[in-house]
Amino acid sequence: MKGIAHFSVGIALASFFQQAVQAGSEGNPLYFILGGVFGLLPDTLDFKFYKFLYKRDIEISPDPKDPDPQVVADGLAFAVNKTFDTGKPVRIKLNTIRLGSDLWRQYKMKFDVGNRKVIASIGPVVRTDQSVVKEYSGKEKKASATLVCGIKPDYEVETTIDILDGPLFMMTPSADGRIIPAFIPWHREWSHSFIVGLLFALVGAVAWSPLAGVISFFAYGAHILLDQLGFLGSNLFYPFHASRRAGGMKLIHSGDMLPNFGTVWLSCLAIFWNLYRDLSWQITAFNPLKLVFYGVIIPLTLFILLRRFLVARNSKPGVDAERESTGDDYL
């Protein structure tokens, strides 16, 4: 989930506590602030701090003028093979290829599990919004390198590297003799643990109040549970559990629009209801069922109808032919 979704859920959880709502109405927003802050805290620890402290054994920086996919493939294969030979983890960073203030060369790497290969390809030039700039792109170049052992990716087999910062993999030996290319291993390691969340909550309880600790823990834990819907998973009980992350449920990707928007929308509805029920005045006959009807069912129905209309419209032969003739594509 994106940060705004975690932030919204944290505030929504705080709103379920009447004491927090009462304090807010009296001018003390502490509990809502704690809900939002602790809802964001696990990712903040990773992306703002721990990421920059994490060790790197190898870095790959393709030449911006003439990027060679063989360099990428060979570097990844070397990291895997060295881990297999030595039995020790190897961390390898894939840097992005920046061409200008708003231009990046996109490239991809793929673990071909069945054939024991790493495949790398140099792709198009993109802007920071990841839209393709065709006039600068040129032809795709591919290369591959052979692995001496089997691999067991803990994330998706293909990774795209284009804008801002590139990913880091930690090649780790497994009990079955294969190598696990752990994707961004610094993320969701110790920070996404219920135990760590409990420790932060205890600090909050001592610093402010028991309720502050409870809200902090719920917001922190909700972040972890939401992340489990994705692919990467978290190390749920660090340091008492194994050092590796438990796999996610693989239901959504963290950047998917609908789950993030839906989470924010439902959080807002929950906040609205929890604030409304504490008011001294009430709208006649308004209840949670009507809130669900007007706030969920009607918007969802309208969205489905609009989506079907747009899909049907875009699938018309005339529209497809017009797209093809103008060079438009589905970016």
Residue with tokens 């719920």: 218
In this predicted structure, what is the pLDDT of residue 241? 76
Please say if the pLDDT value at position 320 is more than 50: no
Mean predicted confidence (pLDDT) in 172-176? 93
pLDDT at site 317: 57
Tokens of 243: 């050092």
**Tell me, what's the pLDDT at 321?**
43
Nearest to 165 by CA among 144, 143, 186: 186
Q: In what order do the strands lie in the sheet with 168-173?
A: 58-60, 90-94, 168-173, 179-183
Confidence of residue 326 (pLDDT cuts 50, 70, 90): very low
SS3 150: coil
Q: Give the confidence band of 185 by pLDDT, cuts at 50, 70, 90.
A: very high
Phi first, then psi, for residue 201 (nearest 5°) are -65, -40
Q: Which residue has the tokens 């549970």?
A: 225
Per-residue pLDDT for 266 more than 50? yes
Q: Which residues contact 184 (CB under 8 A, 6 or more apart)?
A: 167, 168, 169, 232
